[in-house]
Structure 1
């Protein structure tokens, strides 16, 4: 092993808003002391940082002219749980993009407020969620 992952950094126009969005999904501690760099430490110790980029070009999934750059997958146990989670992420400011349609396993693709795609994954899928 060469290193361990310190954090995932997501570019955006407004780090405080995007940090609050993911805090609503994951919980944890949100550090907004520096409005150009916001840190989220989740209850399991994962760290996601949000970095201000004044000329941010949001992805437009699945448009290859505006590639997704990065996406996060969030696990929920069942399709019934994804129904609840779907409504909750919309209330936080997500935009619904796609449903894989699986009955026992699958994923739904959303865009966060800065346009980055993310997936709510459910069940035991043999294939990883692919948002692009």
Structure 2
């Protein structure tokens, strides 16, 4: 039976967002550097690289909170708001995971909420 983890009850109520789900020894988590009240990017996200770092920090916190580790991230789906953001996002992603194996990754250009340029979701081992 899956367990849904809600970090922000207001976001869950307003947007149906959960922080993560844990099932079958896996953690399913996602992140975006977006203030859900204003739909502006969070502070410290002036560049796509910095935004990617903030998103991955959020994901790491959720995965670790569910008993996993960054090294247990198996698959990442990365969304960017424009194709020109792909190289910078990929460089920041690769740098974030340096020192360990890179997760399997796919990238898509998509319409993202508000001023969000990067959104990532992952599947990680829970332990």
TM-score for the superposition, normalised by structure 2: 0.31
Q: Decide which structure has greater strand share.
A: 1
Which structure has the greater CA radius of gyration?
1
Ranked by relative contact order (alpha carbons within 8 Å, sequence separation 6 or more), the top structure is 2
Q: Decide which structure has greater helix share.
A: 2
